[in-house]
Amino acid sequence: MCTGKCSRFLGLSLIPLSLVCMVANALLLVPQGKTDWTDTSHLSLQVLLMGGFLGGGLMVLCPGIAAVRAGGKGCCGAGCCGNRCRMLRSVFSSAFGVLGAIYCLSVSGTGLRTGPKCLMDSRWDYHFKDTDGSYLENRTLWALCEQPPGVVSWNVTLFSLLVAASCLEIVLCGVQLVNATFGVFCGDCRKKEGTPQ
């Protein structure tokens, strides 16, 4: 597969993943879809760090768009440099995207391990912090959180989604980093195939 087509495919895969991360992070701000507990004292630090919105979202959306553009017609068409300028931009964008996805993965992984901030025994705290993530296997503990209702399953589902999406983003941005580097040095094979862009 030539570098241009590969870039376009990777970019079109990264854009929806980044949007999924942004939506998941937005949902974490409103447990069970209700705004009753949106006070910052009731939300966990990992939710407020916006790993899904900033890291897996905006920092990956930019490389996704850059990759799609790199897969298009270059600055000089099929002439002197093809799309090497856009490929070079995509190299830097992809490196930026890898960092964003790693940020999202680390914040989400910590959020899963620590557990949500919830009301238990008349006290708002991280009640599962000392379990080192073993609370994930013991669903009977989840019901101990009085408020917000169902917050543990809400957080586990959304943080798991963010972990999975950010892992995919790291892989795709890494592949695009290599692909775009080849594109900078070797150009785009589509002009040799004679396909008009």
pLDDT over threshold 50, residue 27: yes
- Each residue of 28-50: pLDDT tens digit? 998 877 777 677 778 889 999 99
CA angle, 178 as apex, 177 and 182 as ends, to 5°?
A: 115
Residue position matching structure tokens 């959306």 = 61
Residue 147: give the domain boundaries.
1-35+44-69+77-186
Q: What is the number of domains present in the chain?
A: 1
Question: For the residues 148-169, what does the mean pLDDT come to?
Answer: 92
180 lies in some domain: yes
196 lies in some domain: no
Backbone angles phi, psi at 133, to 5 degrees: 85, 0
193 lies in some domain: no
- Each residue of 104-148: pLDDT tens digit? 999 999 999 988 888 888 888 888 888 887 888 888 888 888 888
Three-state secondary structure call for residue 120? strand
Task: Provide the sign of the torsion angle of the four alpha carbons 6, 7, 12, 18, taken in this order.
Answer: positive
Two structure tokens written together for 182: 């080849």
Residue type, 38: T
Q: What is the pTM of this model?
A: 0.85
CA pair distance 6, 180, nearest whole angstrom? 9
| Contact between residue 183 and residue 87 where contact means Cβ atoms under 8 Å apart | yes
192 lies in some domain: no
Backbone angles phi, psi at 123, to 5 degrees: -140, 130
100 lies in some domain: yes
Backbone angles phi, psi at 35, to 5 degrees: -90, 10
4 compared with 75, residue with greater pLDDT = 4
Question: For the residues 16-28, what does the mean pLDDT come to?
Answer: 95
Two structure tokens written together for 103: 């940020």
